[in-house]
Each structure stands twice: as C-alpha cells, then as structure tokens.
Copies of this chain bind each other. A is one copy, B any other.
Amino acid sequence: MARRVTIQDVADRAGVGKVTVSYVLNGKDEEARISPATAERIRAAAIELNYRPSAVGRMLARSQADAVAMVFQYGDYFGAQTAFISEVMRCVCKACVENQVDVVLHTKLASDPLTEANNFTDGRVDGVLMIRDAEDATYLELVARDFPTVLFFCRSDQPNAHYIACDNQRGGRMATEHLIHLGHTRIGMIRGGMGSVDSNDRLVGYQAALNTSGINFDPELVVEYHGADGHSEDFLALMQRPDRPTGLVVWSDDAAFECIRLCNGIGLNVPGDVSLIGFDSTHACERSNPPLTSIRQPIELICAEAVRLLLALRKSPVDATLCRQIFPPILDVRQSTGHPPKNSSTMRSSTK
C-alpha cells in the first residue's frame, strides 16, 4: 500500500519548502510573492507526483471545514421523507453549491442533547442548518455554545436566535381568505400537531381571517390531523355533521389528499360539495384529482438565505436585520377550491 503523497513530497521534488507549495497550490503565489518560475515548477511537481491535498489536514490547520450540517425533525430522518423535506434538501444543496460548501447529514443521533450537539461541534462542519422546534434541546445547546446555527422554516424567541422562516400566520390567513372570497362562511381547519409552532401559527391566521370577515370562530370545526392512520374518525365525524363546513384549510398537501379520499368515500365531491386548500404546494398537487389549491412557502429563497446567513455567521457578528427574516407565502390556486354549493345555507336540510 503506497504511502500518500504529501505536500512535503511535492516540496522536495520542486526543491522548495513546503510552505511555498502551500501558497502556490492555494493560488496565493501573488500575495506571497512567489516567482512565476518557481510556481510553475511546483505545479509541475504536483502533477507529476499525482499530489492530492488532504482536506482533513487542511481542516485541522485552518479550523474550518467548508461544510455545513443539515438536520431535520427526528422523524423525518427515517420515516416518510415528505416531498417538502425533499425539496428543502434540493434547495439547500443548490445554495451550498453556489457557496462552495459541502453538506453533511449527521447520522449519529443521540438521545442526549449534549451528545447530539457534540456531533455538530466536532469540527466537521462550520455550522448547522436546522428544522427543529425553537425549544429543541439540541438547538438550545448549540446556541448556548455559540455555535453558528440557523433555524429555518421555524421562528424562535431566543434572544440570540437566527432564523429564516415563512410567515405561517399569514399563510393561514391567506388560505382562509381565499375561501372567504369564494363565498364560504363555514370554514373548518384540519390542523397539524398541537406542539407544532407552524400549526399554531396557521391557526392564528385562520382565526384572524374569520374575525376580520365577521365570521364566528367555531372550535368544533378544528380537527387535528394524525397522519394517514387514525385520522379518519374525527374527520369523518366532522364532515358528517349536518352543519359540516363547505371549506377546509388543511395542514399539508398529503393530509389534503387524504381528506379528498375520505370525502369521496362518503359521497362528497371536491370542490362541488367542499373546497379544500392544502399547504406546501408540492408537485403532487398538479397531479391529484382535482389538482389541489395550496399555500406555498418560498422554499428556494428561504434555503438560500439560510445558507447565506449561516456562512456569514462564521466570520463576524451579522447585521441584525439579516438574522431574522420572515418571508410571505404564496397562494397557488388550482381546482380543489370553488364556490360553496348553492344550498349551503340550507345545509341542515341534507340531514333528513
């Protein structure tokens, strides 16, 4: 097994010190005033010897990795990787390509937040991009260690938090207003998990929209989505009420697809009988039957800003206005939303 060719080998071959090689191979021959002739000799030697620099040696010397970690909620690692996460990964990679840093997916999960944080602060990455709740213990630990960390698709009230998020309250409001503008007055919400900040935000927006339009908020029209299983009972109960909603703001696209399926199962047509609007506006929205109206987060923009912020953090303190950015969502109207049925005001009669 041949020994690895080191920078010293190149130096010997070119008849210079290894320092000089380092400067030349890093393109710093100008500022270090290496003569063109020497530089050329060094480059030739490197090629002859098939020299491949060791990134690890470089990382150690520079105390910088030129890489960032990308981490998601616990479940998303193993379980169903949603189209949303998939798109986020794509956009983060794209931003990292532009900034010439690599992406590391850490797999050494630990139950203990201290240990988990160690995985990130061990020098292999310069910072962490996280989709986690703002109260996540690992996140808090990283912040406490002053390690460059950016939360994205999530906001935080931590004093020195950095995050790039989407305005979920506004998203909830936009979705609800869309239904209201179409004439709906009885609007339900299929919400996400109770612990989810995103879901709570959207609920706030939903209530705000109702309020502005003078529609009473009815807590009975809000049902939690528990994933494709266990979801049906509550939902069916809601939709079989005599005064069932004619419009639904649904937690995610996937949840909305499930709702459509369940509605069809009990003879309700979308959007004829009930209008549905989802969140995320994934590609599947275009292919579903009917194509799903959905609220889209500007994923590419958010990822690009998050990466930019993270990389800025490694150097100096960052201008406060860049540390916390919230972008508005976008409404993609498709065919799952329409006017409420004509007899919707006399809906009660359908029970007989």
Contacts and interface: CB of A to CB of B under 8 A. Distances in A.
A123 interface: yes
Given A93-B105, A97-B109, A103-B104, 17 more contacts: A56-B60, A56-B122, A56-B123, A56-B124, A67-B124, A77-B93, A78-B97, A81-B89, A83-B83, A83-B86, A86-B86, A89-B89, A101-B107, A102-B105, A104-B104, A287-B288, A288-B289
Interface of A: 52-57, 59-60, 65, 67, 77-78, 81, 83, 86-87, 89-90, 93-94, 96-97, 100-109, 118, 121-124, 257, 284, 287-289
Nearest to A86: B86
A104 B10 CA distance: 29
Nearest to A78: B94
Contacts of A94: 77-78
28 contacts: A52-B118, A52-B122, A54-B60, A54-B123, A55-B123, A56-B65, A56-B122, A59-B59, A67-B104, A77-B94, A78-B93, A78-B97, A81-B86, A81-B89, A83-B83, A93-B107, A97-B109, A100-B108, A101-B107, A102-B104, A102-B106, A103-B104, A103-B105, A104-B104, A124-B124, A284-B284, A287-B287, A289-B289
A348 B55 CA distance: 66
Please give the count of copies of this chain that the complex contains: 2
A60 B67 CA distance: 17
Contacts of A122: 52-56
Rank and list the top 5 A-B pairs by shortest CB-CB distance, nearest first.
A55-B122, A56-B123, A86-B86, A103-B105, A289-B289
A78 B54 CA distance: 27
Nearest to A79: B90
A289 to B, nearest CB: 4
Contacts of A65: 56
Contacts of A118: 52-53
Contacts of A67: 104, 124
Nearest to A124: B55
Contacts of A87: 81
Given A52-B118, A57-B60, A122-B56, A103 B93 contact: no
A57 B89 CA distance: 29
Contacts of A106: 102
B93 A102 contact: no
A57 B124 CA distance: 10
A124 to B, nearest CB: 5
Contacts of A86: 81, 83, 86, 89
Given A104-B103, A122-B56, A90 B81 contact: yes
A89 B104 CA distance: 13
A83 B109 CA distance: 25
